[in-house]
Each structure stands twice: as C-alpha cells, then as structure tokens.
Amino acid sequence: MKTGDVLTVDIISLDHFGRGIAKKDNFIFFVSNALPLEIVDIKVVKVKKNIIEAEVCKYLKKSSDRVVVSCPFYEECGGCDLLHLNYNKQLDYKQNKVKEIMRKFANLDGDKVKDIKHANNCHYRNKVIFKVDDKIGFYKKKSNDIVEVKECYISDERINKVISLIRDTSNIKEIMVRASKYTNDLMMVVDGVLSREDLNFLKEYVTSIYVKENNKLRNIYGHDACYEKLGNYVYKILPDAFFQVNTDCAKLMYDQVKEYLSLDINDVVLDLYCGTGSIGIYISDVPKKVLGIEVNRDAITSALENAKINEVSNIDFICDKVENVVNKLDYIPNKIVVDPPRSGLDGKTVSYLNDSGADIIVYVSCDPVTLARDLKLLDNYEVIEITPFDMFSNTYHVECVCLLNLR
C-alpha cells in the first residue's frame, strides 16, 4: 500500500477523532468525512506500517445519518470534523465514545456515563482565532496553508460580522475575537497593525481593541475587558484569560458541578485550575469558603475583580502552578473541583488529591482519555458518575464532568 493508491472500502465505525474506520487485507484505514455503513472509494494519503490515512474520492453508498452541510468552507477548512453527521447522532457518538474510553482506560462500567447534555450547536463559539495573510481564515488541517473562511458556521454571528469588515490584511498575522453572549461586548486582539481606515470603521462595532506588540498586549481602543453573564453572575474576561467557549453549555456544566458538589454552609472548597474564578464564584453562595488556584496572571486579575463585581467575599485566589502549591497549602478542603488543561493532572497533584481526605472531588475535563487515565490513578476515590457535555458541537471533542467520592 502506498500514498496515492485508490481502493474501495466499507466503513465499519468511527474512531475517537470522528474518522471512519475500515479494515481490508490486514490494513486499518482511517478515512475523514466517512460514516459507518458507507461504501467509499478512497485515496491513500499516509502509510505507517498497516495503518493508513485516507480521504474519500467517491461515495458509492451514503449513510442515512449523513446530512447536507450548509457551510461552504467545510470540506477545505476541516475545523468541524462531524458537521456531516446528523446532530442527534453526533450526541450518540460522543456519549458512546466516553463510555468506550472509560471502559478501556479506566476499567469503568459504561453505565456510569450519563446522558450527554447540550445547548446550541451552531454559532456557539464565543472566541475565535483567525489566521491571516492576504486572506482571513483558519489553517487547513495538518498544514500552515490558510483556508479563507468568510463565515464560520460555529462562530458567534457577531464574530463573523466583525471579521468581514476588515479590508486591509497586509500587516496582520492573527486576529482573535471574543463576543459575549449576554452583554454587547466584542473584543478584538490583533497580532499586527490595523490600517487607520479599518480601525476607524471597527470602532463602531467593537467595544475593545488590543494589539500585540513584542508579545505584549496594548489596549488601543475601548474597554480593557469583555464581560459575560452566567446565571446570576457577571464575569470580567481579560484578553489572555481562559473562558469556556460555549457560554450556554458552560452554564449547564457549572450547574452540574454544583449539583455534584451537593454543597452545604460548612463546606470548604478548593477550585484547582480556576481560570477567571468562574466555577468558584458560580458555586460560592453556599459554602463557607472557596480557594481558587490558577497559573495565568490575567485570569487571576480577572478572578479577583469578578469576586468584587459579584460581591463574593468568601473566595480567595492564588496565582501559581497547582503542582507547586497544593502540598504547601494551609487550607483543608472537604470538597475539591479540578478543571485542568487537556493534558490532565500531573503526578504531584494526583498524590495530593489521593491524600487530601476530601469527601468529594468533581473533575471537569475536555479530554476523556486523560480523564480516564487520572481516574484510574485516583484510587482512593470511587467514580460515581460522569456526565458528558457537547461543549464543542460539530467537532469530535467532548467535555466531561465526573463525580468522585472518597472510598
């Protein structure tokens, strides 16, 4: 088998990256944009031993779960891996994927995985980073070539609008736009130089513009931050701080975290990897105190202001790496929330959690594989249940919230 070979295969299932799987003559094929029960002519694009990556040249039989894709940039862009799959089937796929990963990597019964929860599945992204050369768009999958995207199906419509207003891209490398769903805030961060004309025009639409100079951000127009509302709380988000990309789904997820914590007035809560303090503040109305730990300075600056804005007085924050401080804390929590980046928990943090004695740990994760690995390592805790969330609709990604009880 070599690159460029063309052959016909039957797709039998989907892999964890949303690609169709086929098997033939001792080879395993991973085919993008192909669904189970489809018969397709494929062209081989990469060969590694008996593992073959391929793309479809012709659909000989299409799945009844395939839908007509309304995004004209879909094929070339590749940012949405599953847009061609009926949305309800996307949800089934993600739920089953979490079950499979938990069985395989954490030895957990599939019944522990509850029904997936979801909000809106189009125009949900509140933050988008566009790559720019003579055109504005996204990197093609596995390449540095930019695909021009005039309107992104999953981005907030105000983000699409503001990007369409830019005329002169000659001195710009990258543009980040953040749109708040429940305030009118619209922030733009430009890596490069906006033309005077574009800048004047944009000022009518955006509430804040930053430019990146020597890797530092400078506010050249409007407010220093975006504000967003989740339930009863308002969050200030500085340009570099993390905030969940799907606002409505984030609210569903934070409600789940709160439910799993089953808080009472005497609880002492630790919120690890707390970002802008969003979870800690969201759950702060019940417990005695909350302590958030986060490495990003912008996020902690936002978190401190968020506590003030929301008049939350029982929360504190530490700006540092979780693994550097957890073992030195003069703070004994009986409930802990962890929401680490995709890579999951490091060894020191796993040991700290195992020895913490906390009654409940709620683990929020955007990567079920690292979640499963960590759940297996947290052996002083029993996994009670896991709820998946469709935070990143139309892509293969899935967010999970897991409840663990001290054994």
Ligand X SMILES: C[S@@+](CC[C@H](N)C(=O)[O-])C[C@H]1O[C@@H](n2cnc3c(N)ncnc32)[C@H](O)[C@@H]1O
Sites for ligand X among residues 331-390 (CB under 6 A): 339, 341
- In the bound state with ligand X, the residue whose beta carbon lies nearer, of 278 and 394, is 278
The DSSP output letter for 155 is: B
Closest CA to 121 of 154, 150, 73: 154
Question: Under the criterion CB under 6 A, does residue 299 sit at the interface with ligand X?
Answer: yes
What does the alpha-carbon distance between residue 10 and residue 30 come to, in Å, rounded to a whole number? Answer: 11
- Within 13 Å and on the Cβ side, how many CA atoms surround 113? 27
Q: Which stretch binds ligand X (CB under 6 A): 38-46, 86-94, 184-192, 268-276?
A: 268-276
- DSSP of 309-372: HTT--SEEEEES-HHHHGGG-S---SEEEE---TT---HHHHHHHHHS--SEEEEEES-HHHHH
Question: Under the criterion CB under 6 A, does residue 289 sit at the interface with ligand X?
Answer: no
In whole angstroms, how close is the CB of 272 to ligand X at the nearest point? 7
Chosen residue from 278, 370, 394, 395 binding ligand X by CB under 6 A: 278
Instruction: Identify whether 366 is a catalytic site residue.
Output: yes
In whole angstroms, how close is the CB of 275 to ligand X at the nearest point? 3
What track of x and - describes contact with ligand X for positions 226 through 255 (by CB under 6 A)? ----------------xxx-----------
Tokens coding 5: 């070979």
Closest CA to 374 of 344, 407, 342: 344
- In the bound state with ligand X, the residue whose beta carbon lies nearer, of 73 and 273, is 273
Q: Which stretch binds ligand X (CB under 6 A): 19-27, 318-326, 350-358, 382-390?
A: 318-326
Chosen residue from 321, 348, 373, 376 binding ligand X by CB under 6 A: 321
CB atoms within 10 A of CB 223: 14
What does the alpha-carbon distance between residue 341 and residue 154 come to, in Å, rounded to a whole number? Answer: 22
Tokens coding 29: 């094929």
Tokens coding 304: 């401190």
Catalytic residue among 152, 366, 400, 402: 366
In whole angstroms, how close is the CB of 324 to ligand X at the nearest point? 8
What does the alpha-carbon distance between residue 231 and residue 229 come to, in Å, rounded to a whole number? Answer: 6
What does the alpha-carbon distance between residue 211 and residue 218 come to, in Å, rounded to a whole number? Answer: 5
Tokens coding 244: 């969940």
Beta bridge partners of 271: 292, 337
Q: Which stretch binds ligand X (CB under 6 A): 96-104, 152-160, 162-170, 290-298?
A: 290-298
Question: Under the criterion CB under 6 A, does residue 322 sit at the interface with ligand X?
Answer: yes
Question: Under the criterion CB under 6 A, does residue 310 sit at the interface with ligand X?
Answer: no
Q: Which stretch binds ligand X (CB under 6 A): 19-27, 83-91, 292-300, 352-360?
A: 292-300
Chosen residue from 79, 275, 368, 388 binding ligand X by CB under 6 A: 275
Question: Under the criterion CB under 6 A, does residue 185 sit at the interface with ligand X?
Answer: no
What does the alpha-carbon distance between residue 124 and residue 21 come to, in Å, rounded to a whole number? Answer: 29
In whole angstroms, how close is the CB of 339 to ligand X at the nearest point? 4
Closest CA to 76 of 6, 135, 22: 135
Q: Which stretch binds ligand X (CB under 6 A): 31-39, 129-137, 320-328, 382-390?
A: 320-328
Question: Under the criterion CB under 6 A, does residue 294 sit at the interface with ligand X?
Answer: yes
Tokens coding 398: 């899935």
Question: Under the criterion CB under 6 A, does residue 273 sit at the interface with ligand X?
Answer: yes
The residues assigned a catalytic role are 366
Interface residues with ligand X (CB under 6 A) are 242-244, 273-276, 278-279, 293-296, 299, 321-323, 339, 341
